[in-house]
Amino acid sequence: MTTRSVIITGANAGLGLECARAILAADESWHVVLAVRDPQRGAAAVAELGTPDRCTVLPCDLASLQSVRAFPAVFAEAGLPPLHALVCNAGLQIVSGLQQTADGVEMTFGVNHLGHFALVDGLLEHLVAPARIVLVASGTHDPEKLTGMPHPAYTSAEELAHPQPGAPIDGRRRYTTSKLCNVLFAYELDRRLGHGDRGITVTAFDPGLMPASGLSRDYSPAQKVLWRMVSPLLRVLPNVHSVATSGANLAALAVDPRFAHVTGEYFEGAKPIRSSADSYDTAKARDLWDTSERLAAL
């Protein structure tokens, strides 16, 4: 008999699916809500997980604020156990030029940050203490780390949402900057929730490099071939994991009693570490928060 719900965005594949699998295996009291853009793919994921009585698929398109705003009511009407955890996992990397969300926001920023920002805002009233929010970030947000990715470039949240016409578009840099936004948001949310005083903890999570993940789906055919050739060789480097290993680490942050009172921390795998210098910049965090509120019309 399930008594608690956890919502995982992007849970139909990759890291989100493995996180769901680990939660289901760890504790029978959890009911997993797969918040996904495509309910058919969500249903296929539930079939793969093999526990249909402990899973529910609900539609949530992070590239549409209308869909995100509707989600809390959809969850409330589903009659599921009380919500005790939210895992903001879904993400994408666009390298084929400039794309926009349904609301005219640059796609990488819109999905990786703004959609989750609006989702968290809408679900706060549904979270029942003790509760946890986990935001999936990336070590690529830190220019001090050797990741092979361009360093993030946070100018302003408005510029990230609406790039100036003619400005150069580097999709990989926009991805790493969106991951910086995830950490800035996590820390600012934790501050505004009183560092756990309201019974809600907030953590950010770096899953490490996962060669088998789907973040390369927007690469060109030649880039995909190169990635498939190179990625197996990367497993000898530090902080490179299988999707299953990273999924288990993410699940632990969401539900494991060991992390019940941990908040305002950034985790690399299973251990807390310092995030980038920019991630502690409160001026950037306030700019991101205020602009996100305006863009999401909250």
Structural domain span for residue 112? 4-295
Read off the pLDDT of residues 259-279 as tens digits, 9 standing for 90 and up: 999 999 999 999 999 999 999
How does pLDDT run across 182-221, given as a tens digit for each residue? 999 999 999 999 999 999 999 999 999 867 555 555 545 6
Quick one: pLDDT at residue 82?
A: 98
Kindly list the catalytic residues: 175
- Name the band, by pLDDT with cuts 50, 70 and 90, for residue 166: confident
Question: Please, what is the Cα angle at 11 between 34 and 193, to 5 degrees?
Answer: 75
Q: Give the count of domains, the chain.
A: 1
Mean of pLDDT over the chain:
92
Residues 11 and 19: their CA atoms lie apart, in Å, by 8
| CB contact set of 194 (below 8 Å; sequence gap of 6+) | none
Query: In the structure encoding, which two tokens stand for residue 75, read together?
Result: 């969850």
Q: What distance in Å separates the CA atoms of residue 15 and residue 207, rounded to the nearest whole number?
A: 8
CATH number at residue 91: 3.40.50.720
Inter-residue contact 19 to 89 (CB < 8 Å): yes
pLDDT digits (tens, 9 = 90+) for 28-82: 999 999 999 999 999 999 999 999 999 999 999 999 999 999 999 999 999 999 9
Enumerate the H helices of the chain as residue ranges: 14-26, 39-49, 65-77, 107-109, 116-123, 157-161, 171-192, 221-230, 243-255, 282-295
Predicted TM-score of the model (pTM): 0.91
- Amino acid 233: pLDDT: 44
Whether the pLDDT of residue 178 is over 60: the answer is yes
Q: How far is C-alpha 278 from the chain's CA centre? A: 19
| Model confidence band, residue 224 (pLDDT cutoffs 50, 70, 90) | very low
Is residue 112 predicted with pLDDT exceeding 80? yes
